[in-house]
Structure 1
Amino acid sequence: MKINSLQPHFKDSQHFKDFWEKGNGKQLTELSGAEVNFKEFDKFSSYFYHVDEIGDEVVKDVYFTKKFHEASREIENYIRNGVLENHNVPESVKKLFAQTQKIPDWLDYDLLKSGAELCMRSSLDSLISLRDYCLIGGYDYAYLNKPLIATEALKKGAVKRLSETLNFWVNVTRYNALEIHKKGYEFAIKTRLIHSYARLSIKKHYKGWDTENWGEPINSWDMMATYIGFSLVFLHSLKKLGNIISIEEEKGLFHLWKYVGYLLGIPENLLPNDKKQATEYFYLWTSVQPPSDKDSVLLAHSLLNESLENPILKYKFQRKNLRYLHICCTWFLLDDEVCKRLEIPNVSNKKMFPYTKWMINCIYDKLISRQARINRGNKDQMKVLNDYLNITQNSNFH
């Protein structure tokens, strides 16, 4: 297979046109002022077959040569204490930490702080956006989901997967979290190595992997799209929910996820600086993604039913009501065509909760100070995270 053989196969497909000509893609283009076209397709498309080779080498040298818990403990020690040149460690490990501990010239700590503050002050709207737009919307891209299916993520269950995503997101979006040896930095490195471990396992054990059409497992271009979900799509969702976002906060959000992407080993030229770049990059990537398939529907329904399975809420009627509210938000945030493809249930009065939330946010932003909202949002998000961790770390929960 020639790497340069990749084409924007789905650019003339109905799902692509609907998204970019009348759906959320059109809104993203208007929001960002992006100029979407295929002039730079070849510049980006090769990354469909590109992976984080540094991370892969670390997994081969450390995780594949000893017991998993021993390897994890060794890596944790390097993350928290650093790697000295005279340490007897593999060259791949030295290379990984030389890259992640080198502060890029473009890094701006004030912007990191602004991005973290936006994530915190958006409180539960952040979590709604991540779940009901970023995550479930991502399931509509059939090829993007293939690593989840190959690693049997459905067997692990949506509660566990949601807990892991939440744990990562919260820990990389707190004050000073991404400083070397701090908790957010640790989560970024561990997540990077989890990606490499999964990729190498898929290549070894999943014989049906279709590299030509699906790209390499967890490839750099898919990683770019995933982290545009945490920046551009997240920003769009917050605005849809009535949040007023300052220019500084918006810049900070993109800067924060650019640095997280850098730590995760995504090539720097794939990391957008702003919403215009992000939309233009995202447009190109969506042209190689077909719409939902049966696996997409299974993943979406697993996430929707997570509310029923999760024992955080004590009573069944509470869980059913929470599922209903998430369904309402999904219909509000995603295009109708996407919801239909994912077979999201069409519930009654589905606009009532999102519109009420939108009105409350418009009032709340004007009445409550920014710092008070940051403090309250951080507290609310930490409570949700701790509730999930208490559930999933309980050995009796499956």
Structure 2
Amino acid sequence: MATGKMDTKTKPRLKRLNTSFKNPLLDIAWTDYERSVRIKPRELEDLRQMSDSLADECIRALHVKPGSDSLKALDEYVSRPLEDQPSAAPRKFMEQVTTIPDWVDAELVNQGQQVFWKYVLVIGLILTHYSLVIGFAASRVTDILSCTNYFSSVKGTFQRIIETLKFVTDIMRGPEALTPLTGVGWKSTIRVRLLHTQVRLRILAEAEKRPGIYDVEEVGVPINQEDLLGTLCAFSIAVITLLRKIGVYMSPSEVIAYLHFWRFMGYLLGIEDEYCNKLITEAAATAIGDSILNHLVDPDDGSVFITHNLLEALAFRPPFFLPLGVHVAFARLLVGDKVSDSLEIPPSRWYWRTFTRCCLAGLRGLSCFTIFLQQRIGFCMKHIPPLVDYYLKRLWAKDALHKPVACDFVLKFLPHMASEE
């Protein structure tokens, strides 16, 4: 992306422990209730030292090789006679992910999936231009992303976008998609969780071999509980908030259903119940999400590099097929000027800003039309998910040479760290 470098003297650099709840890059207006339920920075620092211990022990026992299907390895392991299972960890992991907690309301989960398809076009815009971008503004998150090689190039970044969209569409396919052992969404979720674990363990193993190249105390355990909870908020409460910002409003019942769905996803992805259980109401989820943003948003050069790769990967490519200037304008509009400046996203030209606002107006109109259809004849839920799935397989999942891009959630790139200088 052709951008002029910002003066590094003017780029905010925040303290790792922000105790004031006044991140200079964010305009967070705390209500009295949100102040009472938000997570304090010291507690968030503790969460950064917490991994997904159940999945960690499972992967250690499975010895999954790079490029191999971790879920298949898990199935094969737990299918053996008990005497042929040296470790009980895989069996305990399988029991956890195949057990539906008592608090899960199947009807609310289904309603949450319906909410996604009801607003799918606008949600897709928010996920790509806000959720991913604001995540990249957290330097301690991009430290981990840089180790995976996924975002080291525009091509690799596009692959990551495709995998993210594939995961989301898999889990949103309907109630049967989340059926333990057989559901396509359930399988994708468990594969993603085990992929996170493989990355975590390999980075920790490499850091142990070469002390000084990765500081667990400073950065946190790779893909820790705060990172997982922050990602969950970016896909749930952030979507609700940003929809309202651009003029699309969920009903109160839709908000509850959408949060309930993602709360269940948090359980399957290995987030501690204590924190998943806080994402019940919009106010509580907002406080949790804002606490994490306030604590983590602190861009560095790695954040800038990955963000620029993301915007270039979106340019002239599906699903939007829009020029780079439009994606820049969307990102600045959704993320805000302060964070955008810190990420060195260039100011948008007036004609791209105008075009972007026209696009949003069109999306609002189209969203109203699909809502009308859904309320009258159930068209959306019957036809849109299969159409999106077909589009994903036939058009989205192709690289620049029109070759299929595999979305199998296996470890393709070995995590690496630069040598200590």
TM-score in terms of structure 2 length: 0.79
Q: Which amino acid aligns with 1:369?
A: L
Q: Give yes or no for contact 1:120–1:377 (8 Å, CA) kept in 2.
A: yes
Q: In structure 2, what is the equivalent of residue 288 of structure 1?
A: 295
Corresponding residue for residue 415 of structure 2: none
Match of 1:306 in 2: 313
The alignment status of 1:252 with 2:257, answered yes or no, reads yes
Supply the distance in 2 between the matched residues of 1:373 and 1:77 (Cα, whole angstroms): 39
Paired amino acid for 1:150: C
Q: Which residue identity does 1:248 align to in structure 2?
A: S
* Matching of residue 202 in structure 1 with residue 210 in structure 2: no
Tell me the C-alpha RMSD between the 2 structures. 3.1
Q: Does the CA contact (< 8 Å) of 2:37 and 2:288 recur in 1?
A: no
What's 2:116 paired with?
A: 119
2: CA distance, partners of 1:124 / 1:292? 28
Unpaired stretches in structure 1, ≥5 consecutive residues: 1-6
C-alpha offsets along residues 14-50 of structure 1, whole Å, 9 cap, x if unaligned? Answer: 6x1441xxx3x33xx57x9633676755555422101
1:285 is displaced (CA, Å) by 2.6
For residue 201 of structure 2, give the secondary structure of its aligned residue in structure 1: helix
SS class of match (2:328): helix
Match of 2:168 in 1: 169
Q: 1:44-90 CA distances to partner (integer Å, 9 max, x unpaired)?
A: 542210111111112111135x6753755323667xxx858758444
| Structure 1 stretch displaced more, 43-52 or 295-304 | 43-52
Give the aligned residue type for 2:147: A
Q: Distance in 2 between matches of 1:171 and 1:396?
A: 16
In the alignment, is residue 385 of structure 1 matched against residue 385 of structure 2? no
Give the C-alpha shift of residue 332 in structure 1: 1.4
Deviations 1:177-235 (A, max 9, x none): 22212111111111111011000111112441121221111111111011110101111
Distance 1:396 1:273 in 2: 36
Partner of 2:323: 322
More helix by share: 1
CA drift of 1:273 comes to 1.5
CA change 1:166–1:226 in 2 (3 A) is: same
Aligned to 1:55: 55
Is residue 339 of structure 2 the alignment partner of residue 338 of structure 1? yes
- Tell me: CA distance 1:380–1:130, structure 2 relative to 1, closer, same or farther (3 Å): farther
Residue 382 of structure 1 and its aligned partner are, at CA, apart by 2.4
Does 1:10 find its partner at 2:18? yes
Using the alignment, how far apart are the partners of 1:194 and 1:252 within structure 2? Answer: 28
Paired residue total: 374
Moved more, 181-190 or 36-45: 36-45
CA contact (8 A) 1:123 1:381 kept: no
- The equivalent of 2:353 in structure 1 is 351
> Quick one: distance in 2 between partners of 1:39 and 1:228?
13
Q: Confirm whether residue 189 of structure 1 aligns to residue 176 of structure 2.
A: no
Match of 2:231 in 1: 226
Shift of 1:266: 0.7
CA contact (8 A) 1:134 1:230 kept: yes
The structure-2 alpha-carbon separation of the partners of 1:42 and 1:13, relative to structure 1 and needing over 3 Å to count, comes to: closer
